[in-house]
Amino acid sequence: MLPRVVSTAVNLTRAEEGLIILQEEGDLYLRATHRFNGPEIAPQHTLTQDPIAERVLQSGRPVMLKRETRLSTGNLVQSLLYLPVLQPGGGTVGVLGVINRQRQGEFTESQLFTLSAIADYTAIAVENARLFSEVEREQHRLRSIMQRATEAVLITDEREGLLLWSRTAAEAFAIPDDAAGKPFLDVLHHAQLRELFHQALEGLDSPKGEIILPGGRVMNAQITSVSHLGRVIVMQDITQMKELDRIKTEFVQTVSHDLRTPLTTIQGYVMLLDRAGPLNEMQRAFVHKALNSLADITDLITDLLDLGRIEAEYDMPMTDLQLGQLLQDIEEQYRPQAQKADLTLQLTLPPTSLCVRGNAYRLQQALGKIVDNAIRYNRPGGEVALEVQDQGEHILIRIRDTGFGIPLADQAHIFERFYRVITPETESIRGVGLGLTIVKSIIEHHRGRIWVESVIDQGSCFSILLPKCL
């Protein structure tokens, strides 16, 4: 680019020579030269000293010599015209010059005006070259990072073309070397990864899921949309973690199952104690506490076994079902409990069809647990409201209550296993801390999302977003 600019300047002014000098980190470098009617010379990068060029750089104004002059370098010139190359936004970055060493005749104001336009173009060319160089340098750094990344990383452009990928991704998905620029879905043929990518195309925010590779390796994948860039897919190998989780789950299920029989026996004998003879008030209190503790342990075992079945997707067939009818069944099921607690339970449904693909038993279980919590963690005279909104491709369910509220510090942890919010108002309420874990697992297995908003002493709102039937 720069040699062509110099060539144009020489040809327009019919000067004997032309040059471009750029300032880089305080030094002057000759970047391009050209002789009249001579061959085009490749770009240069030669350190140089030129006092006139330095004067132009400092002043930001052109210099025109109209008579024979001997420069400080010892060279004799008949005429010379140097113009500043002004960076867009201010600052002089270089000099565009034309020189006559032997030919008589000075440069004119008209030529000065013409070269000024060329100098402006040169500034744009220099800035573009600088930006291009920076982009290439950053891309090289990014490629180096990607090649060394242990995660499988895929980056697409705004047109969903494959832009960059890590070596781990190339090995996992057999990505060819010439895949750059090709449509993502034309290059990647893994069914689970394509399904996740389709979710991103449909507008789902940061979809994530597990990708099972040939050979049994398991990757945890998440797609993030980046404005004005495209999408970034990051996948971590969680094969070892999944195996540890499987071993732990098997252990918990085995222990839980083996505990059920003796617990049932103990519970039965404790309930028969009053038949062996009359109990005094203290003995009845002890029996009551024992039965409550046995109920807590039984609930814990039931929830652990249930959670294992859900995470393993055991006996969880999916069908198209009407969410409206399911919510009406939940309202009918929990209305007596709400009335006993002196609460108002209200369901609001839109007039449109609410078809979702899911498992009716598990969805009713998940929504029922939230309603049950909204009733138990509430105050007499309060209310529980179920609201449903049709949002096009998704259905939004909100379950609001006027209860105690959840402290902000606890809200990020309430879906974790065995996590309970303990406050003076809630410490007497029975629970094992697995209910919301089960709810979150069920919703995520339905390709949905759940989150909470809560204010102390005002209540909580659990929101569930589920995709509609295709």
**What pLDDT is recorded for position 269?**
84
**What pLDDT is recorded for position 234?**
92
**What pLDDT is recorded for position 369?**
93
Q: Where are the beta strands (DSSP E) in 180-335?
A: 208-212, 218-226, 230-237, 319-322
Can you say how many angstroms the Cα of residue 346 is from the centroid of all Cα atoms in its chain? 37
CA distance 296 to 287: 14
Show me where the domains of the chain are located: 2-138, 149-237, 240-311, 319-467
Identify the segments of the chain with pLDDT beneath 50: none
- Do the domains 2-138 and 149-237 sit in the same CATH topology, yes or no? yes
Q: Classify domain 2-138 by CATH architecture.
A: 2-Layer Sandwich (3.30)
CATH code at 149-237: 3.30.450.20
**What pLDDT is recorded for position 38?**
64
Whether the Cβ atoms of residue 220 and residue 212 lie closer than 8 Å to each other: no
Query: Which residue type is seen at 46?
Result: T
**What pLDDT is recorded for position 353?**
80
**What pLDDT is recorded for position 278?**
86
319-467 CATH choice from 3.40.50.1970, 3.20.20.70, 3.40.50.720, 3.30.565.10:
3.30.565.10
**What pLDDT is recorded for position 187?**
93
**What pLDDT is recorded for position 95?**
92
240-311 CATH choice from 3.40.50.1980, 1.10.287.130, 3.30.56.10, 1.10.3720.10:
1.10.287.130
**What pLDDT is recorded for position 313?**
67
**What pLDDT is recorded for position 86?**
86
Q: Which two tokens stand for residue 267?
A: 């519970």
